[in-house]
Amino acid sequence: MTGDRELSWDGCVNVRDLSGLGRVRPGAVVRMEAPTRLSEAGWATAWAYGVRTVVDLRDSDEREPDRAPRPAGITTVHAPLDPIGTPFYEHWKNIDHLSSPLYFPAMLAEHPEPVVAAVRAIAHAAPGCVVFHCAGGKDRTGLLALVLLRLAGASPEEIIADYLLTYDRMKPRYDELGARDQLAAVTELLATRNTTIEASLTSTITSLTMPDFLLGNGLSETELDVLRARLAS
Protein backbone atom coordinates (compact mmCIF):
# COMPACT_ATOMS: atom_id res chain seq x y z
CA MET A 1 0.00 0.00 0.00
CA THR A 2 2.77 2.46 0.90
CA GLY A 3 4.90 2.31 -2.26
CA ASP A 4 6.46 5.68 -2.99
CA ARG A 5 4.53 7.28 -0.12
CA GLU A 6 7.26 6.30 2.35
CA LEU A 7 9.74 9.16 2.68
CA SER A 8 13.22 8.99 4.15
CA TRP A 9 14.09 12.28 5.81
CA ASP A 10 17.15 11.96 8.04
CA GLY A 11 16.26 12.25 11.73
CA CYS A 12 12.60 11.27 11.53
CA VAL A 13 11.02 7.83 11.22
CA ASN A 14 7.33 8.44 10.52
CA VAL A 15 7.15 10.47 7.32
CA ARG A 16 4.78 9.64 4.47
CA ASP A 17 2.96 11.28 1.60
CA LEU A 18 -0.81 10.81 1.50
CA SER A 19 -0.72 10.44 -2.27
CA GLY A 20 -2.55 7.56 -3.86
CA LEU A 21 -5.17 7.49 -1.10
CA GLY A 22 -8.39 8.58 -2.71
CA ARG A 23 -7.66 11.42 -5.10
CA VAL A 24 -4.61 12.85 -3.30
CA ARG A 25 -1.79 13.68 -5.69
CA PRO A 26 1.91 13.17 -4.94
CA GLY A 27 3.60 16.07 -3.18
CA ALA A 28 0.42 17.72 -1.89
CA VAL A 29 0.41 16.78 1.80
CA VAL A 30 2.79 14.82 4.01
CA ARG A 31 2.13 13.57 7.55
CA MET A 32 4.89 12.99 10.08
CA GLU A 33 5.96 13.12 13.69
CA ALA A 34 7.35 16.39 15.04
CA PRO A 35 10.21 17.38 12.72
CA THR A 36 12.42 18.59 15.57
CA ARG A 37 14.88 15.70 15.06
CA LEU A 38 15.43 16.38 11.37
CA SER A 39 19.09 16.90 10.58
CA GLU A 40 20.33 19.56 8.19
CA ALA A 41 20.29 16.87 5.52
CA GLY A 42 16.75 15.90 6.53
CA TRP A 43 15.51 19.45 6.11
CA ALA A 44 17.33 19.70 2.78
CA THR A 45 15.51 16.56 1.61
CA ALA A 46 12.17 17.99 2.75
CA TRP A 47 12.92 21.20 0.86
CA ALA A 48 13.88 19.27 -2.25
CA TYR A 49 10.60 17.36 -1.97
CA GLY A 50 8.82 20.70 -2.27
CA VAL A 51 7.90 21.40 1.36
CA ARG A 52 7.17 25.08 1.85
CA THR A 53 4.72 24.98 4.79
CA VAL A 54 4.70 23.07 8.07
CA VAL A 55 1.45 22.98 10.06
CA ASP A 56 2.16 22.22 13.73
CA LEU A 57 -0.83 20.73 15.57
CA ARG A 58 0.82 20.75 19.00
CA ASP A 59 0.06 23.06 21.90
CA SER A 60 2.65 25.75 22.58
CA ASP A 61 3.86 23.94 25.73
CA GLU A 62 4.90 20.92 23.64
CA ARG A 63 7.15 22.70 21.21
CA GLU A 64 10.87 22.03 21.33
CA PRO A 65 13.83 23.59 19.50
CA ASP A 66 14.81 22.02 16.20
CA ARG A 67 18.11 20.14 16.10
CA ALA A 68 18.92 21.81 12.78
CA PRO A 69 17.60 25.08 11.36
CA ARG A 70 14.64 24.98 9.02
CA PRO A 71 15.25 26.37 5.53
CA ALA A 72 14.39 30.06 5.45
CA GLY A 73 11.75 29.49 2.77
CA ILE A 74 9.63 27.16 4.93
CA THR A 75 6.74 28.79 6.79
CA THR A 76 5.57 27.24 10.06
CA VAL A 77 1.90 27.66 10.97
CA HIS A 78 0.70 26.81 14.48
CA ALA A 79 -2.78 25.26 14.54
CA PRO A 80 -3.19 23.53 17.95
CA LEU A 81 -5.74 20.75 17.73
CA ASP A 82 -6.34 19.80 21.38
CA PRO A 83 -8.99 22.00 23.07
CA ILE A 84 -6.90 22.34 26.22
CA GLY A 85 -8.68 23.86 29.20
CA THR A 86 -12.12 22.65 28.19
CA PRO A 87 -14.29 20.09 30.00
CA PHE A 88 -13.95 17.96 26.87
CA TYR A 89 -10.17 17.85 27.20
CA GLU A 90 -10.26 17.00 30.89
CA HIS A 91 -12.83 14.28 30.26
CA TRP A 92 -10.85 12.57 27.50
CA LYS A 93 -7.51 13.04 29.22
CA ASN A 94 -8.85 10.76 31.93
CA ILE A 95 -10.04 8.18 29.41
CA ASP A 96 -7.29 7.85 26.80
CA HIS A 97 -5.06 10.95 27.16
CA LEU A 98 -6.38 11.83 23.67
CA SER A 99 -4.05 9.12 22.38
CA SER A 100 -6.46 6.78 20.63
CA PRO A 101 -9.13 7.08 17.94
CA LEU A 102 -11.77 6.63 20.62
CA TYR A 103 -12.13 10.39 21.06
CA PHE A 104 -12.33 11.27 17.35
CA PRO A 105 -16.14 11.31 16.96
CA ALA A 106 -16.64 13.45 20.07
CA MET A 107 -13.90 15.85 18.95
CA LEU A 108 -15.49 16.33 15.54
CA ALA A 109 -18.93 16.84 17.08
CA GLU A 110 -18.02 19.04 20.06
CA HIS A 111 -14.89 20.89 18.94
CA PRO A 112 -14.82 21.04 15.13
CA GLU A 113 -13.32 24.54 15.09
CA PRO A 114 -9.65 23.61 15.64
CA VAL A 115 -9.96 20.83 13.06
CA VAL A 116 -11.36 23.23 10.49
CA ALA A 117 -8.70 25.80 11.41
CA ALA A 118 -6.00 23.22 10.61
CA VAL A 119 -7.73 22.36 7.34
CA ARG A 120 -7.89 26.08 6.54
CA ALA A 121 -4.16 26.44 7.22
CA ILE A 122 -3.49 23.77 4.59
CA ALA A 123 -5.89 25.40 2.11
CA HIS A 124 -4.22 28.80 2.52
CA ALA A 125 -0.62 27.56 2.50
CA ALA A 126 1.82 28.88 -0.05
CA PRO A 127 2.33 26.84 -3.23
CA GLY A 128 4.29 23.67 -2.52
CA CYS A 129 3.98 20.63 -0.31
CA VAL A 130 2.38 21.00 3.13
CA VAL A 131 3.63 18.92 6.07
CA PHE A 132 1.39 18.50 9.09
CA HIS A 133 2.37 16.93 12.39
CA CYS A 134 1.74 16.66 16.11
CA ALA A 135 4.20 14.97 18.49
CA GLY A 136 4.25 11.36 17.32
CA GLY A 137 2.24 11.83 14.16
CA LYS A 138 -0.45 9.41 15.32
CA ASP A 139 -3.70 10.82 16.73
CA ARG A 140 -3.96 14.56 16.12
CA THR A 141 -2.14 14.02 12.85
CA GLY A 142 -4.29 10.94 12.26
CA LEU A 143 -7.52 12.85 12.83
CA LEU A 144 -6.53 15.59 10.37
CA ALA A 145 -5.40 12.97 7.85
CA LEU A 146 -8.76 11.22 8.24
CA VAL A 147 -10.64 14.45 7.49
CA LEU A 148 -8.50 15.24 4.44
CA LEU A 149 -8.66 11.70 3.11
CA ARG A 150 -12.41 11.50 3.63
CA LEU A 151 -12.77 14.67 1.54
CA ALA A 152 -10.48 13.15 -1.10
CA GLY A 153 -12.62 10.03 -1.38
CA ALA A 154 -10.26 7.54 0.26
CA SER A 155 -11.87 4.32 1.40
CA PRO A 156 -12.21 3.43 5.09
CA GLU A 157 -9.73 0.59 4.50
CA GLU A 158 -7.13 3.02 3.11
CA ILE A 159 -7.58 5.48 5.96
CA ILE A 160 -7.36 2.78 8.62
CA ALA A 161 -4.27 1.17 7.08
CA ASP A 162 -2.55 4.55 6.93
CA TYR A 163 -3.38 5.28 10.58
CA LEU A 164 -2.02 1.91 11.72
CA LEU A 165 1.34 2.45 9.99
CA THR A 166 2.37 4.95 12.64
CA TYR A 167 2.43 2.33 15.41
CA ASP A 168 5.13 0.44 13.54
CA ARG A 169 7.05 3.50 12.37
CA MET A 170 7.20 5.08 15.84
CA LYS A 171 8.11 1.92 17.72
CA PRO A 172 11.84 2.83 17.84
CA ARG A 173 10.95 6.13 19.49
CA TYR A 174 8.70 4.48 22.08
CA ASP A 175 11.44 1.92 22.76
CA GLU A 176 13.89 4.77 23.37
CA LEU A 177 11.55 6.16 26.01
CA GLY A 178 11.06 2.78 27.62
CA ALA A 179 7.34 2.99 26.88
CA ARG A 180 5.27 -0.13 26.37
CA ASP A 181 4.16 -1.15 22.91
CA GLN A 182 1.58 1.45 21.93
CA LEU A 183 -0.41 -0.78 19.60
CA ALA A 184 -0.93 -3.25 22.45
CA ALA A 185 -1.74 -0.46 24.90
CA VAL A 186 -4.35 1.18 22.69
CA THR A 187 -5.81 -2.18 21.67
CA GLU A 188 -6.28 -3.09 25.33
CA LEU A 189 -7.81 0.29 26.16
CA LEU A 190 -10.35 0.04 23.36
CA ALA A 191 -11.17 -3.52 24.36
CA THR A 192 -12.37 -2.18 27.72
CA ARG A 193 -14.86 -0.13 25.68
CA ASN A 194 -15.90 -3.16 23.65
CA THR A 195 -14.37 -1.86 20.44
CA THR A 196 -11.20 -2.02 18.36
CA ILE A 197 -9.01 0.49 16.59
CA GLU A 198 -10.47 -0.56 13.26
CA ALA A 199 -14.08 -0.41 14.44
CA SER A 200 -13.57 2.93 16.16
CA LEU A 201 -12.03 4.47 13.05
CA THR A 202 -14.67 2.97 10.79
CA SER A 203 -17.41 4.54 12.90
CA THR A 204 -15.77 7.95 12.63
CA ILE A 205 -15.12 7.66 8.90
CA THR A 206 -18.57 6.46 7.90
CA SER A 207 -20.35 9.08 10.02
CA LEU A 208 -18.26 11.97 8.63
CA THR A 209 -20.13 13.53 5.73
CA MET A 210 -18.00 15.54 3.35
CA PRO A 211 -17.90 18.35 2.43
CA ASP A 212 -20.83 19.09 4.76
CA PHE A 213 -18.68 18.81 7.89
CA LEU A 214 -16.24 21.45 6.65
CA LEU A 215 -18.83 23.82 5.20
CA GLY A 216 -21.06 23.49 8.24
CA ASN A 217 -18.21 24.46 10.54
CA GLY A 218 -16.92 27.58 8.87
CA LEU A 219 -14.94 26.63 5.78
CA SER A 220 -16.12 28.70 2.82
CA GLU A 221 -16.96 27.33 -0.61
CA THR A 222 -13.96 29.22 -1.97
CA GLU A 223 -11.64 27.67 0.62
CA LEU A 224 -13.10 24.25 -0.15
CA ASP A 225 -12.34 24.71 -3.85
CA VAL A 226 -8.77 25.78 -3.03
CA LEU A 227 -8.29 22.79 -0.73
CA ARG A 228 -9.61 20.35 -3.32
CA ALA A 229 -7.32 21.84 -5.95
CA ARG A 230 -4.33 21.54 -3.63
CA LEU A 231 -5.05 17.90 -2.84
CA ALA A 232 -5.97 16.67 -6.29
CA SER A 233 -4.69 19.01 -9.01
Q: Is residue 233 part of a domain?
A: no
SS3 154: coil
Q: What is the gyration radius of the CA atoms in the chain, in angstroms? A: 17
Q: What is the pLDDT of residue 3?
A: 55
For residues 209, 214, 215, 218, the Cα torsion angle rounded to the nearest 10 degrees is: 150
Residue 61 pLDDT > 50, yes or no?
yes
User: 56 phi and psi, to 5 degrees?
Assistant: -100, 115
Q: Is residue 232 part of a domain?
A: no
Q: Is residue 170 part of a domain?
A: yes
Render pLDDT for 142-170 as a digit per residue (tens, 0 to 9).
Answer: 999 999 999 999 999 999 999 999 999 99
Q: What is the DSSP string of 6-33?
A: B---TT-S--EE-TTSTTPPTTSEEEES
Pairing of the two strands 29-32 and 16-17: antiparallel
Rounded to an integer, the average pLDDT of 196-218 is 98
Residue 233 pLDDT > 80, yes or no?
no
Measured distance CA(154)–CA(108) in Å, rounded: 18
Mean confidence (pLDDT) of the chain:
96
> What pairs with residue 131 in β-bridges?
30, 54
Range of the domain at 83: 3-227
Categorize the per-residue pLDDT at 96 as very low, low, confident or very high, splitting at 50, 70 and 90.
very high
Residue 1 pLDDT > 50, yes or no?
no
* Predicted TM-score of the model (pTM): 0.97
Q: What is the pLDDT of residue 177?
A: 84
Q: Is residue 180 part of a domain?
A: yes
Q: Is residue 158 part of a domain?
A: yes
Measured distance CA(143)–CA(190) in Å, rounded: 17
Q: Is residue 213 part of a domain?
A: yes
Residue 173 pLDDT > 50, yes or no?
yes
Residue 2 pLDDT > 80, yes or no?
no
Domains in the chain, number: 1
Q: What is the DSSP string of 186-198?
A: HHHHHHTTT--HH
Rounded to an integer, the average pLDDT of 125-147 is 98
Residue 60 pLDDT > 90, yes or no?
yes
Rounded to an integer, the average pLDDT of 166-182 is 90
Q: Is residue 182 part of a domain?
A: yes
Q: List the CATH number of the domain containing 170.
A: 3.90.190.10
